[in-house]
Structure 1
Amino acid sequence: MLRDFSLQSLFMGLLIAFVGFASSFAVILNGLAGVGATDAQAASGLMALSISMGVCAIVISTVTRLPISIAWSTPGAALLASSTAVAGGFNAAVGAFLVCGLLIVIAGLWKPLGKMVSSIPSALANAMLAGVLIGLCFAPVKAIAFNPLFGLPIVLAWALVGSINKLYAGPAALLAFVLVIAFGIEMPDGILARLSSALIPQAEFVFPVFNTAALVSIALPLFIVTMASQNIPGIAVLKVNDYHPNPGPLFATTGLFSMLSAPFGGHAVNLAAITAAMCAGVDSHPDRARRYWSAINAGIAYILFGLLAGAVTTFVSLAPPVLIEAVAGLALVGAFASSALAAFSESQTREAAAITFLVTASGVSFGGVSGAFWGLIAGGLMLALARLTKRRA
């Protein structure tokens, strides 16, 4: 293995970890807060996820000698941000995280469940994701309305850098956010002491609670979004780059690491999609047999970033919530555009996708169950009705 190591893979691994962490950690914090996590619990969840996906990437890539990039479920965190609080609070959400991880393990080991997830119409899965994301994508506009001096620099940094290289748009928005906090917000007394103490990693164990509302509102939609938007596309990216691993064990392993991070506030880890292309591409290394080191190096960097999660969360908490939501929303604009395009591209499924999107985006809960679940059900019924009518005709 050491003979396969290269400076090129080291640089790519560090870049992957920076892009993966910096571009979407705001989404994670916002999502965990959305289901009732305190600042300490959100910091613990961020740390658990980052360390879990780092260790998972190292283990999988070492065993398979393939460039398997691992990420946290960004669409899943966006789903959490759009959810309403469920009975049992964050403890119930953690119980749902555990069930989601278990479902991912089962999907990997038991082929019928994996096929069932794969059989969900792509248009409906993408419509649900677009409906989940759209609320956060409004946040940059709201941030500008809240305070143009705070919101505009973040949006402009994202737009200007993104016009040159989309890969760095999210980190640019994050840098602008940091500068806005540093120079535009009055620091409270004792902030340096708080930041110093936050450098010491502190895991918060959350005792899981299981109830039907949380399982249906959080666990099932989180499982579907993670599988449809992350795990399955992650395999597709690997295949495009001529890597052909057995998907089942990979899914099961990410599900296991999701379960390990759940009691500390982590919602889900999965195969990466965007950073997978960086890991498996020629920029990682000319020799495709040596590219797995990029994933290993990224995993090491993720662990280091995770240990700093407390300081990151403490610093972010100084800003008005709408600003961190703006950074998260900008990081998800590309994902929203892609999912919306995929949802409405086929005329045969367009109306069903529209129903799924509208019900999900409404954010309305029925019977304590979130709109994301009902959106998928409503779209599925609409699609089934259209197909039944077509057959009879």
Structure 2
Amino acid sequence: MTDAPAPLSRPILAGVVTALVGFTSSFAVVLTGLSAVGATPAQAASGLLVLSITMGLACVILAWRYRMPITAAWSTPGAALLAATGVVDGGWPAATGAFLVVAALTLLAGAWTGFGGLIARIPASIAQAMLAGVLLPLCLAPVTGIAENPWGVIPVVLTWLVFARIAPRWAVPLAFVAAAIVVGVGLVRTGSPMDTSILIPRIEFVAPTFTVGALIGIALPLFIVTMASQNVPGVAIMRSYGYEVPWRPAMLVTGIGTAIGAPAGGHGINLAAISAALAASPEADPDPNRRWVAGLSTGASYIVLGGFAASFSALVVLAPAAVIPAVAGLALFAAFGSAVQQAVAEPGERMPAVVTFLIAASGISLAGISAAFWALLAGLVVRLILTRTTTRPSEG
């Protein structure tokens, strides 16, 4: 006698959980990043809304077309990069222009395999060291926040710590719930009235412009970080569950989605990495041929959550000092640890990785170009010099 198939509600629920975890775990990072490069609160909320819609549609299209639990996501490491970069020459319009360039590069990576191979030649240690350096200041926010606003931040950190032990998947979302309670208590204590109009979702378009500082300081590092920490690992995770993601169509869909969202503030969508396992694993459905329903459900859930983007953005605006940065920092702990581990895994790559990490973490800006680019460039130069020195044949 064969076992009865699991009810269809199981993969549907798995998709809802995937979207809830993905959204609540990192939306604060996205809003922080968009605000850092010049977005107003309304423009940042627009970016969150359009990202939710485009990545939701990408999930639906890819899952339906290929009958796989392929899920898309916004680039959380990319948002962290924006937070570390700050406002570039040209401000917010230049940042949206950089987002369009990322879309073009993504489409190129899908259409021309040679270009994808060129990006793959960037050593993983250098790319991950750059990401780790970018994440470090954000990951320090819970620490500095405790000193700045202990009564607001300590409940958030304790909530995260408790659930990191008993339910790791929900640790960051529940830390956000704790932050929301802190915000609510603060509003009740102060009696501050709230303008309910800010809760209405709106799309704020801006005419993109293009500056050298934004192209080199935002577009290039954002594309590399997204490829190295989202798209490539996303394909690997799906492969581990028996699914071969169609690379070219995936890049086409996410590239077009990024291009559509850029003028409204979306910094980019890509293949999901960590959250991909929630929809693709046997927990979603014992039958691999039915898990694509979880991808469909994930997409629909993201679109629904997008309707609350303005409310989440308002919560960030109303939050006491240091509370939301603490949540964002906690959300990046796992990414930071993984990046550090990969950066120093190979003994021969450690010195270039250390140089890359330190420059990225310094936050310096030279010639209007962010530290991430200079870190990448310096790491590659140091690696080239050290490699040639160690491999030069002996004379005589």
Tell me which interval the TM-score lies in, with the shorter structure as reference length. over 0.9
Q: How does 1:173-212 map to 2 (within 5 A)?
A: 173-185=175-187, 186=189, 189-191=192-194, 194-195=195-196, 197-212=197-212
Choose the corresponding residue for 2:172, options 161, 166, 170.
170
Q: Confirm or deny that 1:240 pairs with 2:243.
A: no
Q: Which residue of 2 aligns with 1:127?
A: 129
**Structure 1, 142-151 or 30-39: larger mean CA deviation:** 142-151
Structure 1 residue 190: deviation in Å?
3.5
Q: How does 1:74-93 map to 2 (within 5 A)?
A: 74-93=76-95
Q: Is the 8 A contact 1:143 1:151 kept in 2?
A: yes
Q: Which residue of 2 aligns with 1:13?
A: 15
Q: Is the 8 A contact 1:35 1:93 kept in 2?
A: yes
In structure 2, C-alpha distance between the alignment counterparts of 1:60 and 1:5, rounded to whole Å? 23
Distance 1:321 1:147, change over 3 A: closer
Structure 1 residue 259: deviation in Å?
0.7
**Sequence identity, in percent?**
46
Paired residue total: 388
Structure 1 residue 200: deviation in Å?
3.0
- Which consecutive residues of structure 2, in runs of 5 or more, have no partner in the other structure? none
Cα deviation digits, residues 328-366 of structure 1 (max 9, x gap)? 000000110011011011101000000010010000011
Structure 1 residue 256: deviation in Å?
1.0
What secondary structure, in the 3-state scheme, does the structure 2 residue paired with 1:263 have? helix
Q: How does 1:92-131 map to 2 (within 5 A)?
A: 92-131=94-133
Q: TM-score by structure 2 length?
A: 0.96
Q: Is the 8 A contact 1:150 1:184 kept in 2?
A: no
Q: Which residue of 2 aligns with 1:311?
A: 311
Q: Which residue of 1 aligns with 2:25?
A: 23
In structure 2, C-alpha distance between the alignment counterparts of 1:179 and 1:246, rounded to whole Å? 43
Cα deviation digits, residues 88-123 of structure 1 (max 9, x gap)? 110000000000111011111111111111111011
Q: Is the 8 A contact 2:38 2:86 kept in 1?
A: no
Distance 1:114 1:321, change over 3 A: farther
Letter in 2 for 1:383: R
Letter in 2 for 1:136: L
Q: Confirm or deny that 1:224 pairs with 2:224.
A: yes
Structure 1 residue 278: deviation in Å?
1.0
Choose the corresponding residue for 1:36, options 24, 35, 38.
38
Distance 1:352 1:49, change over 3 A: same
Structure 1 residue 321: deviation in Å?
4.7
What secondary structure, in the 3-state scheme, does the structure 2 residue paired with 1:317 have? helix
In structure 1, C-alpha distance between the alignment counterparts of 2:377 and 2:6, rounded to whole Å? 48
Q: TM-score by structure 1 length?
A: 0.96
Q: How does 1:349-364 map to 2 (within 5 A)?
A: 349-364=349-364
In structure 2, C-alpha distance between the alignment counterparts of 1:386 and 1:262, rounded to whole Å? 39
Letter in 2 for 1:381: V
Letter in 2 for 1:84: G
Q: Is the 8 A contact 1:46 1:309 kept in 2?
A: yes
Letter in 2 for 1:19: V
What secondary structure, in the 3-state scheme, does the structure 2 residue paired with 1:116 have? helix
Q: Which residue of 2 aligns with 1:148?
A: 150
Structure 1 residue 255: deviation in Å?
1.1
Q: Which residue of 1 aligns with 2:55?
A: 53
Cα deviation digits, residues 152-203 of structure 1 (max 9, x gap)? 0000000110011221111111011011111134456431xx23x3443210
**Structure 1, 30-39 or 311-320: larger mean CA deviation:** 311-320
Q: What's the C-alpha RMSD, in Å, of the aligned pairs?
A: 1.4
Q: Confirm or deny that 1:367 pairs with 2:367.
A: yes
Cα deviation digits, residues 295-327 of structure 1 (max 9, x gap)? 110111100111111122112211135211110
Distance 1:4 1:231, change over 3 A: farther
Q: Is the 8 A contact 2:69 2:280 kept in 1?
A: yes
